[in-house]
Amino acid sequence: MSSSRASVGTGRPPRPASTGLRRSMATVCVSGTLDDKIAAAAGAGFDGIELFENDLVVTPWTPAEVRARCADVGLTIDLYQPFRDFEAVPPAALTANLARAEHKFDVMAELGVDTMLVCSSVAPTAIDDDELAAEQLALLADRAHARGIRIAYEALAWGRHVSTWDHSWRIVARADHPALGLCLDSFHVLSREVGPAGIAEITPGKIFFLQLADAPRLSMDVLQWSRHHRLFPGQGSFDLTDFVHRVLATGYTGPLSLEVFNDVFRQADPARAAVDAMRSLVTLEDSLRPSEVPATGVRRLPAAPPLSGHAFSEFAVDGESGPALRAALRGLGFAHTGQHRSKPVELWEQAACRVVLNSAVTRPQTPGTAAVSAFALTTADPHRSRVRAEALLAPVLPRVRGARESDLAAVAAPDGTSVFFSRDDDWRADFLPTGEEFSGAAGLTVTDHLGLAQPFDHFDEAGLFYRSVLGLARLTTEEYAAPFGLMRSRAFTTPDRTVRLALTAALLRRGEWAPAVVDPQHVAFATADIFGTASAVDRLGGTTLPVPDNYYADLVARFALPTDLVERLRRYGILYDRDQHGGELLHLYTPVYGGRVFFEIVQRIGGYDGCGEANAPVRMAAHRHLRLSTS
């Protein structure tokens, strides 16, 4: 099906959907030196940047050159950040701090930036005296005002005496200076007990700057949490829609500015990270009430059309991996039902389970390997699905369409997989019937889920991509120990569960010692009777993954299952899981084909909703042992 692929992550992406709100990104969000960061922000369509002092200090460009360079690519510098440990100090320190500030005002004048971020002091010498803090900040604001500069005061969650937004607001209100206002950072607000409710009471115009970051809920020191684990909006657990709503309700009209400290993003390709950042902002804005965003000439994001299932999964194969996959599919009861009209592409089917084997994929691939090169989802409106994806900066893939062939819209996911949008089963008309039919004996009914290992740098990006582009919801998030290191998994789904995607990544990027399958991918098919299916697969000569006896001995101890059930599970190498509501999963796997791909058969009982992550370590070890025993 797919035959041309966009080069993901290179080239200028389409302009993002606009709402009229200004979008900014702190230079700390992405990796590189200042030239990399400016290029990345501009390339992703940001309007401005927050310039982090350290990025300026290490650049060979003068501040005036930085200003010109930003202007050249259409960026303003919206904030100079941060100035630290200023307020509530003894008189001698105040003099030194004001002198220090004047140096920074000089730099800001050259940069052409009019707002300076002052973080609440973390110095052990800071004095716990709001009146002193207000007085000294007013002095600073006086100096700033004379230079046409505004001071945005921000409560760090780990500030020495001022660590909550409401405390910082009391100080700013007390100082009552036109050049002194607040900087609100969603992390510092939402990581603390003081909720955002009172934001409505902030005097209109006194929020000078709004910084946005999401984060997972972690039980750890707030400073470490903030410095290592922030995420772009929509990737974590904070309710940023509510937060931004409250801030906009005060009349705030400044930029929505991302300030995300994240260990992975700090190492990753800045051009891609900036696109991820922009996607997060567009998605966040889309979640706001239309009345809250300026409506001048805006292009709202089209709503995600409802999805109703996995249409097909496509594997790229070659002369070596192709035969292995064909044999595997036959062993699972599939038949080769169709041959593409114009390409070396085969359709394999069993009920509504469809697999496409593509020998013409142009993507470079190690000889003998196979990969999930594409998957197609059934959508109520393929065109709208594609327009939404494009507005969310998904690279839209060009496609060569032959006569009488359907026009499947496709975009590239962060791991390079093509995602097709199809309405109904029109796409099947591209295949000429071979006359083969599947017998139905194996009883597979439909594709249950796809399991796709993600590139380390793009795990959170991929999650946001699928949520925002496809309109999926997060289903599960897990972290577990596997034989070759810790793993993360996160699954996404539709409300009716007809589409499920399970993403995985190693918790630490793999090193040289990695005997496991690198970046495995799999397609899971559903059955209503896994024992019937397993028995049919046996008769068909299909191969399933051997599971150690020790696993079953442990099952007996863990779940107190009836002995005869465990014996039946053991006989067919069926794994078992039970959720906290009593839902059960029975599932089995095939060996790995083409070095990377495999199939799974699942039977869900009683509303089991996950993807069997608890058994992933067993599967990984079994795959390795199988490889060792056959090599």
Rule CB under 8 A: which residues touch a copy of itself? 28, 31-33, 36, 53-54, 56-60, 62-63, 96, 99-100, 103-104, 106-107, 218-221, 223-224, 228, 263-264, 266-270, 456-457, 481, 483-486, 506-515, 546, 548-551, 553-554, 556-558, 560, 617-618, 620-622, 624-625
Contact 590, 334 (CB under 8 A): no
Residue 185, marked binder? yes
Nearer to a copy of itself, 79 or 516 (CB): 516
Please spell the DSSP secondary structure of 303-354, one letter per residue. Answer: PPPPEEEEEEEEEE--TTHHHHHHHHHHHTT-EEEEEESSSSEEEEEETTEE
Could you tell me the smallest distance in angstroms from the CB atom of residue 255 to a copy of itself? Answer: 24
Residue number with CB closer to a copy of itself (80 or 243): 80
State the Cα–Cα distance between residues 378 and 310, nearest whole angstrom.
6
**To the nearest whole angstrom, how small is the minimum distance from the Cβ of residue 224 to a copy of itself?**
6
211 annotated binding-site participant:
yes
Residue 532, token pair as written in the block: 């019937």
d(CA 470, CA 492): 10
Enter the tokens of residue 426: 């029109």
> Taking a C-beta distance cutoff of 8 angstroms, is the pair 243, 189 a contact?
yes
Centre a 10 Å sphere on the Cβ of residue 194 and count the other Cβ atoms it contains.
14
- Looking at beta carbons only, is 548 or 595 nearer to a copy of itself? 548
DSSP β-ladder status, 150-154 and 180-185: parallel
Measured in degrees and rounded to the nearest 5, phi and psi for residue 510 equal -60, 140
Tokens of 311: 């249409």
Annotated binding residue 154: yes
User: Given the complex with a copy of itself, which of 78 and 269 has the nearer CB atom?
Assistant: 269
Residue 215's nearest CA partner among 205, 207, 206, 223 is 223
267 marked among binding-site residues: no
Rounded to a whole number of angstroms, the CA Rg of the chain reads: 28
Residue 291 or residue 580: which is nearer to a copy of itself going by CB?
Answer: 580
**Residues in Cβ contact with 573 at an 8 Å cutoff, skipping those fewer than 6 apart:** 534, 544, 545, 546, 547, 588, 589
Q: Smallest distance, Å, CB 273 to a copy of itself?
A: 9
**Cβ contact 461:272 at 8 Å:** yes
Distance CA 455, CA 509 (A): 9
Query: Between residues 47 and 50, which has the closer beta carbon with respect to a copy of itself?
Result: 50
Quote the least distance from Cβ 554 to a copy of itself, whole Å: 5
Between 40 and 347, name the residue whose CB sits nearer to a copy of itself.
Answer: 40
The minimum distance between CB 552 and a copy of itself, in angstroms, equals: 9
Closest approach, Cβ 457 to a copy of itself, in A, equals 5
Nearer to a copy of itself, 188 or 619 (CB): 619
- 130-146 and 165-175 are packed helices; what angle lies between their axes, rounded to 10 degrees? 60
Q: Does the annotation list 522 as a binding residue? A: yes
Which helix (H) or strand (E) element contains residue 172?
helix 165-175
- Taking the least distance from each CB to a copy of itself, the nearer of 104 and 192 is 104
CB of 111 to a copy of itself, least distance (A): 11
Name the nearest CA neighbour of 97 among 79, 112, 116.
116
Reading the block at residue 371, the tokens are 């990969």
Distance separating the N- and C-terminal Cα atoms of the chain: 34
CB of 330 to a copy of itself, least distance (A): 27
Bridge partners of 460?
Answer: none
- Smallest distance, Å, CB 262 to a copy of itself? 10
List binding-site positions.
Answer: 154, 185, 211, 259, 449, 522, 600
List binding-site positions for a divalent metal cation.
Answer: 154, 185, 211, 259
List binding-site positions for Mg(2+).
Answer: 449, 522, 600
